[in-house]
Structures are given as structure tokens and as C-alpha cells.
Amino acid sequence: MRTLLLLPLVTVSLCSFAGGESNIIARSDWSKPVSTRYSQTLRGRMLIAQEHSPAHAGPWPETELYLELQNVSGAVGPPMRIYFDPGRGLRCELLNSLGKSLPERGTPGSGGGAGACWIILPYDSTIRLRANAYGYGMKPGDGFSLRLSPPGSQDWAIRAGDTNTYFLSSSFTVTPPTNHITQDFDEARTIWNGTLELPKMKIEIPKP
């Protein structure tokens, strides 16, 4: 029994440090916690890194958007279940300091992105999850680019020399699939659903 209880904690630990800390170029504050009717409480934040993910062999780094989720429930209980689907649940807006949106560029491409899956998050634990399309980035010195996962596939680029200050604001909505059938009430009350309003973060073009 002790081994079984530890397995979810090990899984979270392995997933939590996917992006190297030295390559992080932006990080938001934590969102306000959101609770379900069964007191499952979750908060989140965004971070952006520029590096090569394990399977990326391109000539320059990817822009990697991660979503960190933290179980901050007020009472110890069974692990929280979260249906993670960033392609449908994550919506972002890139604004300048005057509040004007940066138009999307619509870059063609066939790369995949983070797919939908169930996440198990124990009490008082945090997980870091890749939340955007794989393989997209910009040559160092040319500027900054960000492409989200399909089917949303929002896509922006800030060219080198752009003197505007930009902020990325996002919301993340979790909606369990309608065909999911819970085994019993004990499972049903562990499922988190709702919307996290993620605080905006400042985007600065990395220097080459």
C-alpha cells in the first residue's frame, strides 16, 4: 500500500522540471485559487522558456510555454483529477503597454502540440506541463515567436527592434469530456473543473 501511495508523487516530480530554470525568459504570478463544490482547489501560472526539448533537433531553440498547476486544497484528501487539454482550454492574448492586441501571424506548419490527457495531482503538489506547439521558435537575434497547440493554434511574433512592451494574458478552462463516466462518487468529487485567470506576464525579446 505504501508503494501505491507514492507512485503519483513520483510521477509529479518527474514532470515538474521539464523546462530548464536557466532558460526561462518569463514567468507569471500565481492565479487566484479556484475551488469546486467538493473543495478541490487549484491555482496556476505560466512560464516561457527558450531551449531544445528532448526530441527537438532543429537549428535553433523552441519557444516553450508551460502551465504549472498546484493543488492547494484546504484539506488532505485523494489526488485531484484534471482533464488537461491546452489546445481547447488555453486562450491567450498578447497586448502592448497601451492594451492593443498584437495581430496573429498564421504561420503555416504541421507540427503537433500538447494533447489532451488526464492529470493526477496529489494534495500540496505542483506539476509543470508543456502547453504549446512543438518545434516552433525563432533564430536567436531575430526576435520572439509563440505558437499554441492545435486546434486553437494562436500564433504571434515580435521582431527584433520592436520597441513596444508586450504582456501575455491567458485563461485556462478545464472541461471534462462529456463521455467520461465516473466510477463512483469518490472519483467524481476529485475531478476539478473551472477556469483559471492567469496573471499577465511581461515578454521581453531575448538577446542573442
Residue 195 CB neighbours (<10 A):
14
Q: In what order do the strands lie in the sheet with 166-174?
A: 90-96, 166-174, 194-203
- Determine the pLDDT at residue 161: 86
Residue of higher predicted confidence among 112 and 94 = 94
DSSP letters of 56-107?
--SSSPEEEEEEEEEE--SS--SPEEEEE-HHHHEEEEEEETTSPBPPP---
Whether the pLDDT of residue 152 is over 80: the answer is no
- Determine the pLDDT at residue 24: 92
- Determine the pLDDT at residue 187: 83
DSSP letters of 126-148?
EEEEE-BBSS----TTSEEEEEB
Domain range list for the chain: 2-203
d(CA 80, CA 123): 7
- Determine the pLDDT at residue 84: 97
Whether the pLDDT of residue 11 is over 70: the answer is no
Predicted confidence band of residue 15 (pLDDT cuts 50, 70, 90): very low
Whether the pLDDT of residue 10 is over 80: the answer is no
- Determine the pLDDT at residue 105: 80
Q: What is the mean pLDDT of residues 35-63?
A: 92
- Determine the pLDDT at residue 43: 98
